[in-house]
Structures are given as C-alpha cells and as structure tokens.
Structure 1
Amino acid sequence: MRRTTAIALLVALLAGLVGIVLMPRVPRLGPQVTGDPELAGAVRAAVPDPKGHRGLAVALVENGRTRVAGLGDRDGTGRPVEPGTPFEIGSVPKTFTGMLLADQVAAGVVGPDDRLGATWPAVTGPARDVTLAELASHRAGLPRLAPGSPLGWARILWSNVSGGDPYAGQDVDSVRTAADRVTPGDGRGSVHYSNLGPSVLGQALAAKAGVAYPDLLQARLLRPLGMTATVVAAGSGDLPADRAQGSRASGRALDPWLGPGYAPAGIGVWSTAEDLARLVAATAGGTAPGADAATARYRENADTRIGYGWFTTRHGDREIVWHNGAAGGFRSYVGFEPATGRAVVVLGNTDKGVEPIGLRLLGVPKENAGEAAPVTPWWIGAGLAVAFTFLGGLALLGTVRRPNLDRVTLVSAAVWAFAYLGLGHRLGDWSMVPAWLWPVGAGLSAAGVALAVIRWPTLPAVDAAVPWRRMLSVTSSLAAAAVAVAAVAA
C-alpha cells in the first residue's frame, strides 16, 4: 500500500512539473511601444491592471493635435502593436450607422420619423411600422439578436464554447427575414440595446440608396473623413493584413466575426486608432457627415442619454459622448468631451474591457471611470477553471477506489480526467484564478492514472449483468469526451 501511494505521488509530482510548462499563460500588456512615447506612458498609467491585456492601440485628440501610440503585442508572437494596426472594433460602427441616418436626413433622402417599411419595402412584418429614429436609438422594441431556431441557438452556443464566429452566414437576407419575424415588444419607446435594430436600419438606408451597406458607408462617411484603413469584411478574404489577433483575457485565441447582414451593428468591421481618431475629432468638431447623430435626444437613465448610435453619459462633473465595442476577442472605446473637444480611441486585442482607460485619458478621475466589466460574471470563469481542473482527477481517484470495477469503466474515467483538464485550460478565466492550480490538477489526474495502471491487471474487462449496456454507456461517455475536447481545441 505504501509503495503504491509513493508511486502515485511521484507520478503526480512529475506530471505537475510538466503541467507547469503547459499551464495557461494569461496575457499581460507587453513592454513594446510604438508611436508617441509620452502618450504610451499616459496609457500605462491609466491601465488599472496590465494582466488580461495583450496589446493596445490608442489615439488622443486635444488642442487640435492628434497623437497615437501602440503598446504591447499584436498577436502573441511579440510583434508590436502600431498606431496603424487593424483591430476588430465591435459595436463602434453603430455610430457610423447613426451618422448615416443623420446624413441622409440632412440630405432630404429620409426623415427620422419615416417608417421602416417605407424605407425598405422588402420588410413586410409588424416591425415595418417602427421609425428610423427608433432603430438608431435602440427604442424600436426589437430584441438584442434575431430570434432563431433551436438549431441556430445551438450553433451560437457552440461558437461561444469553441471560440468560433456566432454570426457566420448571417447575410442581408437573414436580417430582413429576422425583421419580418419580430414584433416590437412592450419596451418600444424606451432604450433597450439591440444588435438587430441598427442592422435593420443600416440595411434599410442602403436599400433606399440602391447600394450595399459597405458602399454607402464608404461614400457618405469613410471617404469624406479620409478613413482609408476602415474595412467591412464580408468574408475571410476581406480581413486586413497585419491585423491584431483577438483572444480571451485568459489567452485563448478567438476567430474573427464575419456576418455581412450585421455589419451596420459592427460585425466584421475593422479599423485603426488613426482612422477612428479622424472620426471622433470630426464628430466632436461638428464637421463629420452626420455629426448631429451625437446629439443626445432620448434618456436611458439618470446619467445616460442617446442620440443616433452615440451615448452621452455623465461621469461626476464631466459629460462624455461615447460608444464601446466587443467582438471576437477584441474591445474598443471611442469618446469625446464636448466641453473641451478632447477625444480618445482605445483598441484592445483581448476581451478585457478598455472603457476605464479611455475615460482616464479624457480626464475622468479614477473613482468615476469605474472598472472594466467582465464578459461574464467573474465567478463563472473562475468556477470553470477550478471545477474542470480538479473534477476529473478527483472522479478518477474515486473510481479507482471502488471495489466493483472493470477496465472499460476505468478507461472512461481516465479519459474524462484529462478531458476535464483540457476544458479547464481553455474555458477557465485564469486572469481570475492562479494559473499554478492547473499543474496541481494535472498532477491529481496523473496520480489517478498511476493507481489505475497498478490496479489494471486485477480487473475484468466488463463486470456487468448486461455487458452490452455497460459498453454502450462507456462508448457514449467517450464520445461525449471527444466532442468536448474537439470543441475547445478548435
């Protein structure tokens, strides 16, 4: 017995040492600096915690001068972020779509109170009666995402687990079909954030103009502002070269999001700190096409109002006009202070929020800037890390100690011990949990395997009254383990 325990402990120690090499590596804002060194220093001072960030691209506009800087690593290889490095910018283009509405209203093409059905006659469902202004200000009573079939929701869930693209295949027809299926809810008239609403608005404006949304955006906003590095990627071939790689704050790389139907809400849109600085500077100065979109028109709560896409929020004695964005492993923030004309752009290539950095650079005190909200509650990511890391090893050790045991059951328990380790490695938020716990879990699983190997010669192949049922159960369990590992290893 003592010899068996000693062998298990030795194997656990060796596995733990190997696990140290393989344990999760949480990104941390690197030392690389490009562009304006003074701005880069101000950014580092504004970062509450460098852990969970990998790279940042920042622009600051003040006193008529634009400064840009890159900090850290663009893709996990050590290549530095530069001011012109493309980032996926998430929902920031909702402001583009709001500005297109303001621009088209100023041109007399549409009116803010025009109905969706009059602007895009292809929409024939109940949502055809909402107004363009309601769509631009999240007041149309539409859901956050298009209603879908159980198969569609399963695909989205799989994408979130595997780090894939939840918007893949969502084209303009998908958005139009979704608009036909939805009925504006009881929340119509009050602000309820939606990705579907701005998408429908942008496609409606494009249909009215007789062009595709990217072409309308290029002609009416990007080209006049000189935003030559901003692109709408409909497919992987449209992705910009030398772009940043998005990842979770725990380090796991994620796929870009591509869904041309949702481009007006920001899906598949890439830009740079330099380009977005042109946008916020011109909007703050009132010279951008559709700059009136930033005018606050409707109240969301005591501190926040909204215009067409742009939010206006009071932070202490400062009022900031802004929008943020979240995509596949990216975070973004653009904002300006009307009272001073100061404007900021912050782009990050992990899913750790960058809003507090932008607010600090705008002069908002730390106590009013708040902290970055996690993608999911912290206890979920931390819980997944700890539970998956130790669950398999503990279960295997319990199985090995069972008096009535057979080899097929033992194989299933051993496979799951390492499948759970993989799930913990990939799905856990290791920015919230000490990464050294993972090698401990690896050692625990290895100890269980060592004990299983020792007991193996004494076990029957199948010990069950109905052997085929036991084999079916074990086969199903192994198949589930293979699917789980495949999902997180993609």
Structure 2
Amino acid sequence: MVLKMGAVVSALAVFALALFLAPRPPAIGPQTSGDAGLARQVGDLADADGYQGLSVALLEEGRSRFAGLGTADGIRPVDEHTPFEVGSIAKPMTGMVLADLAENGLSPDTPVRGLLPNVKLSAPATLAELASHRSGMPRLRMTPQLIAGALLSPYTGADPYSGAGPDTVLADAAAVRAGERGKVAYSNLGMALLGLALAKRSDTTYADLLRSRVLAPLGMTSTVALGPQDDLPPGHATGRAQNGLSMDPWRSHGHAAAGGGVWSTAEDIAKLVGAVMNDTAPGADAATPRWSQNERQRVGYGWFTTRYGAKSITWHNGATGGFTSYAAFDRATGRGVVVLSNTDKPVDAVGLRLLGIEKSDDESHSPVTAVVMTLFAFSGLGLVVSAARNRVPDRLSITSRGLWALLLLFVARNAGPWDAVPPVVWIFGAGVLAVAAGLAVVRWPALPLTRSSASRWSWIRLALPAALLLTSGVATAL
C-alpha cells in the first residue's frame, strides 16, 4: 500500500512539474496601436501563434502607416516607437556606409588588408567583396565556445556570442581559411570585418561611423549600435523564443556591422526604407543589385534583390535569439514594409504579403521536425513498457533510462515547433514519463543496484544525461 501511494505521489509530482514547465508559445493578445486598418490586415496575414508582439510600417503613396499588435513584454502594448533588436538589418546599413564613403573617394576595390595592416588576414578580399558576401570568408569562425553557446542558447536563453568585441572578430578573421572568392556565400564574419575596417579607416568606432554617415542624416534617432557598457534602449521589447523562454539580448558589439547589439524601431527603419527606395539616403546606391547569387536573386552592398514573378523586391531580414525583422521595398510600385517581432519566429512572409506577394517557399516547420520532437516528448513510453513487462533489470538501468527520457523531454520542450504542434502533446508526453516514475517507485525495492558488476559504460550512460541536463540550463529554465 505504501509503495502504491508512493507511486501515485511520484507520478503526480512529475506531472505537476511538467505542467509548470510546459512550453507556452507566445500569442498576440488583443492590444493594438496605430492604424486600425493596418493592424487588422497584419492580424489576418500573420499566424498569431508564436508571436508576442509585432511592430509594422507600410510605406505607400509617399506616406508611412504604422501598427502595433501584441505586447513588448507581456504587458506594454507595442507601437512604432518600441525598440527591437533588428539583427542583420544592420548589414545593408553597413553597405550604405561603404557606398557613402565611396562617393567621397574610398574605392570599394580597396583590399581590406590595406585598412587593417596589423591583422594577418588569410583572405585578400576587397571591401566590395565583403559587402556583397563574395569574399570567401565563412559565415562564422566555428570555435568550441561559439558551438557550445549556440547549442545551449535555445535552452538557457544566453547570448551565444558572449559579448564578443572587435578583437575577437579580428582574431577570428585572421584564423579562418578563406574559400572561393567571387561566389555569393552569406558571411556574418565578413560583414563584421568590413565594419571594423571602415571604422579604422575613419579613425572612429563603428557605432559612431554608422551614426554620422547614415543614422543622423536620416533622422534615425532611435537606432543604436550598443557598446559593451551601454544600457538597453528605454522601453525596449523583451525577446522570447517560440516556446516562451525569455532570451538575453545579443551584446556582441564586435559584430555590430553584421547586426550584434543593434536596436531600432519600426519608425526609424521606415525612414531608412523610404529614403533608400527614393534614392535620397546616404549610400542609397548600396541597394543597386550588382552580382548574381542565383537565377532569382542578386546582391548589392548588403541589400538583396529577389524576383517573385514579375516583381523585384529589395530586402534584408534579421534574426537574433529572441527577435526577427524584415525590411523591404518594391521600387516599381513605391511600396515598402518593415516588420519587427520580439520572438524568434520569422516575419518575412508577413512582410511579403503586405507587398502583395505570397512567398513561394514554405516557411512552415518540416513535418519531420514535428514528428521527431513528438517522439522525444514521448520518450518515456519505452520505460513504461519495460517496467510493465518486468524487463527493467536493475536500479542503475531504470535511473539511466529515466534520465535519458527526461533529457529528451527537455530538448523537445525547448526546441520543439510548439506553434505548429499543440503544447498539450508535450504535456501528454510528460504524463507518460510521470507514469514511468510511478512504476519505477513500485519496482524499486525489488531491484538490485545492478544485475552484475556495473561496467564503465553503465555508469557513463547514467552520468551523461545527468551532465547534459545540468549544462543545458535546467536551473535557468526553472
């Protein structure tokens, strides 16, 4: 009787904890601001599951309309003045800095080595090649620290770049081996290097160079590239993952030219889009498509231009740990769009639909991903079957299997596409593990520690999931 009561209590405790930790994908609430018609249109175009807040600008007929949907932090409504982390939308701004400097005597064909003579770069790339992702530099230098940060970030919410500064970027650029020059291959490292080279040439910081060359002339007073000690902008949005986990801001100021630590508002980015579209912005020539990436897409200095049927859209998007962004325009129609979100769900499709385009490539989650994460959630089922059939041989084995099931359940919680798969699936999976915990309590007294002398591998199978659970940020998630 005592064992049965212990089993029930154990199962209820596990299930209660699961309910507390269940994934809670953000959803846009009823809050709106700005243009009511545009807010309704965005609400119809956007799948609300997976978004917490959206700040949108639509430019047409020479004017800008703004709308906010949802909240900045679960409480405060979003509007066009709410600062968002914009990520790689900084890249076309860096391209504009280059184009503006080119109008004042700097040749885009200048080798980057000429501006950074003390950095031993393996790539003989030019400024133009860096700005157009044709330098041969890899996307990033994949160091153990960066790989670990990227793997853990979805579970801890931490900045995977760990606040990397200019010295880190220059060291990475010197350490990597360059690939094929002339071929368009997206490179965060290359764009970050370009920003540092242009700042060095101008004897200033990248943040000050961007401000003087692009932001100040356009009146973009709410756009900032943060330094390591700078406070976040007042009233800023809070970034979240699609499972509801709060994400730390990315403070990698060394990568500012590529999007690290850059914040802006829909109102400011609308000024940028409108001025580039009308050729009145400093360095607006950066948006001119110069090189082909494929049969549909060309690239200028930071800006991409993609054909959708008869339409050509000039654009860039951005994504950080808890934010996504999209800025684009159709020069032929004079229509532009800005979409900023404080979750990591892409917003490209929302922006394209506002431009009258149904995006051809499906942005929904792969069915395989949904199936795999569902299987992860129900990983405790095998333990239930083994226990019910009296196939669990010893305490070491049942503990090891339980830890692995818990680890997979945790991975599913943080990586699963819970905007596409109902979170109740995860809760049912946690319920299965709860049943397994109850059965384990019933069986526990009759089980030996191990059927035979435990091998080293047996202890590794026990220690590995325990270590992974610990390092995956369980404490942070709680």
Structure 1-normalised TM-score?
0.88
* Separation of aligned partners in 1, 2:244 and 2:15: 21
Match of 1:87 in 2: 84
Q: Cα–Cα, structure 1 residues 294 and 477, in superposed 2: closer, same or farther, change >3 Å?
A: closer
Determine the C-alpha separation between the residues in 2 that align with 1:471 and 1:328. 35
Q: 1:385 aligns with which of 354, 366, 373?
A: 373
CA distances 1:350-374 after superposition (whole Å, capped 9, x unpaired): 222111211221233x3xx336636
One-letter amino acid of the structure 2 residue matched with residue 143 of structure 1: P
What residue is the counterpart of 2:435 in the other structure?
A: 447
1:57 and 2:69 are equivalent in the alignment: no
Aligned to 1:430: 418
The CA distance in 2 between the partners of 1:473 and 1:415, in whole Å, is 9
For residue 460 of structure 1, report the CA deviation from its aligned partner.
3.5
> Paired residue for 2:45?
46
Question: Bigger CA drift: 412-421 or 57-66?
Answer: 412-421
Output one character per residue of 1:39-69: Cα deviation in whole Å (capped at 9) or x when no partner: 112212322x222222100011122211111
Uncovered stretches (5+) of structure 1, i.e. residues with no partner: none
Q: Number of residues paired by the alignment? A: 478
1:353-432 matched pairs, under 5 angstroms:
353-364=346-357, 366=358, 369-370=359-360, 373=363, 378-379=366-367, 381-395=369-383, 397-399=385-387, 401-402=389-390, 405-432=393-420
Q: Alpha carbons of 1:293 and 1:441: their partners in 2 closer, same or farther (altered >3 Å)?
A: same
Other structure's SS at 1:58 match: strand
CA contact (8 A) 2:155 2:473 kept: no
Between stretches 450-459 and 285-294, larger displacement belongs to: 450-459
2:107 is aligned to: 111
Query: Does the alignment pair 1:134 with 2:129?
Result: yes
* Aligned residue identity for 2:137: L
Moved more, 163-172 or 338-347: 163-172
**Which residue identity lines up with residue 335 of structure 2 in the other structure?**
R
Change (3 A) 1:447 1:485: farther
263-272 or 309-318: bigger deviation: 309-318
Distance 1:137 1:463 in 2: 63
Counterpart contact for 1:381–1:427, Cα < 8 Å? no
Residue 34 in structure 1 maps to residue 27 in structure 2 = no
Contact 2:326 / 2:348 at 8 angstroms: preserved in 1? yes
Unaligned runs of 5+ in 2: none
CA distance in 2, matches of 1:44, 1:354: 12
Compare 430-439 and 292-301 and name the one that shifted more.
430-439
Give the one of 273, 277, 284 matched to 2:277.
284
Secondary structure of the residue that 1:360 maps to in structure 2? helix
Of 165, 170, 177, which residue of structure 1 is paired with 2:164?
Answer: 170
8 Å contact from structure 1 (residues 378, 432) kept in 2 = no
Correspondence for 1:458: 446
* Contact 1:304 1:312 survives alignment (8 Å): yes
1:191-270 alignment to 2 at 5 Å?
191-235=184-228, 237-270=230-263
Is the 1:18–1:439 Cα contact (8 Å) retained in structure 2? no
How far apart, CA to CA, are the structure 2 residues paired with 1:303 and 1:471?
54
Q: Which amino acid aligns with 1:145?
A: L
Instruction: Please state whether the residue corresponding to 1:175 is helix, strand or coil.
Output: helix
Please give the secondary structure, in 2, of the residue aligned with 1:347: strand
SS at match of 1:113: coil
* CA apart distance, 1:290: 0.6
Question: CA shift at 1:481, angstroms?
Answer: 3.9
- Do the aligned partners of 1:94 and 1:198 also contact (CA within 8 Å) in 2? yes
Residue type at the aligned position of 1:55: G
Residue-by-residue CA offset, 1:332-356 (whole Å, 9 max, x unaligned): 1111111122211111112221112
Tell me: CA distance 1:131–1:228, structure 2 relative to 1, closer, same or farther (3 Å). Answer: same
Which residue of 94, 97, 113 maps to 2:94? Answer: 97
Q: CA contact under 8 A between 1:199 and 1:261: conserved in structure 2?
A: yes
Contact 1:400 1:448 in 2 (8 A): no
Q: Is the 8 A contact 2:323 2:343 kept in 1?
A: yes
Pair 1:66-2:64 in alignment = yes
Work out the CA distance in 1 between the residues paired with 2:246 and 2:292: 38
**For the structure 1 residues 118 and 483, does the alpha-carbon distance in structure 2 shift closer, same or farther, using more than 3 Å as the test?**
closer
Equivalents in 1 of 2:191, 2:119: separation in Å? 15
RMSD of equivalent CA atoms: 3.0
**What's the CA shift string for 1:233-283, capped at 9, x where partnerless?**
233743222211222223232221121111101111110000101111111
Superposed displacement of residue 223, structure 1: 1.0
Say which SS state the counterpart of residue 423 (structure 2) adopts. Answer: coil
Partner SS for 2:88: coil
Q: Indicate the larger mover: 242-251 or 304-313.
A: 242-251
> What percent of counterpart residues are identical?
45
Amino acid at match of 1:131: T
Q: Secondary structure at the match of 2:233?
A: coil
1:252–1:385 Cα change, 3 Å: farther
- Cα deviation, 1:418-460, whole Å, max 9, x if unaligned, reads 4443332222221222222222222211212222222233334
